[in-house]
Amino acid sequence: MDTRPIGIFDSGVGGLTVLTELRKKLPNENYIYIGDTKRFPYGSKSKETIIQISKRIVDTLISKKVKLIVIACGTATSQALEELKQIYNIPIIGIIEPTVENQMNEKVKKVGVIATRGTIRSKVWETTICKKNPSIAILSKETPLLAPMAEEGWIDNEVAKSAIKEYMKDWKEENLDALILGCTHYPLFEKLLRKELGDTIKIINTGKEIAKSLEQYLKENDLKNEGIGTEEIYLTDTESNFLNVAKQLFHKEIKIQKIDL
């Protein structure tokens, strides 16, 4: 048994969709979450900037004695994960590899990926999917308005509906087998995406895939906690909208602490 917490970080509220899935799958674990709301959004920042920000957050999580770190952010995963793995002697997991490993099987012939500008332009999803299954046809699209709307809590209003409709209009006739939500903010729009793309497409929430893979990893490495799980949530800048979205996800009031990074 290992009672040390699991560290999680994101640019803002999106990573809470990952924390929610981890809580469902691994309710006995302790979690420390850092939302870097001061520097949101990450999607338009350079690779070098993302790496420096991520290092600062990882250093903070390590100082809090975490046993592993989950990068609950598509942009930070695509831009910084490999560099962080080379620097730190602690397990660091991103959103991409667990999703591809669990979902990109022989049943998938055509997949769409939506994510931030930085993630899509890195082509890391295409590279990782092709390594796993080179026969899959991949469509990718930058959807930069969605994460800011999620941060504002605009997840089911007319602005959100119009944005989703515009982003998905070219894909409605593509006969996609699956749609990967390549930013952790995007599960908040799953209902709207489903409405545009129909019931036959599989919408893949990366948080669920991380939870599956992490459960197996903890078991194999004897790192599971058997106690009563707790969570500490830190923000680099206090946001009232964060609390509103968090309440929708957790169905309860949560305590937020300020952290300087």
170 marked as part of a ligand binding site: no
184 marked as part of a ligand binding site: yes
11 marked as part of a ligand binding site: yes
Six token digits for residue 222? 């004897």
42 marked as part of a ligand binding site: yes
Judge whether 130 counts as a catalytic residue.
no
Six token digits for residue 127? 């590279």
Q: Which of 53, 61, 71, 73 is catalytic?
A: 73
185 marked as part of a ligand binding site: yes
Q: Which of 160, 183, 204, 218 is catalytic?
A: 183
43 marked as part of a ligand binding site: yes
Six token digits for residue 136? 């899959």
Residue numbers belonging to the annotated binding site: 10-11, 42-43, 184-185
Residue numbers belonging to the annotated binding site for substrate: 10-11, 42-43, 184-185
The residues that are catalytic are 73, 183
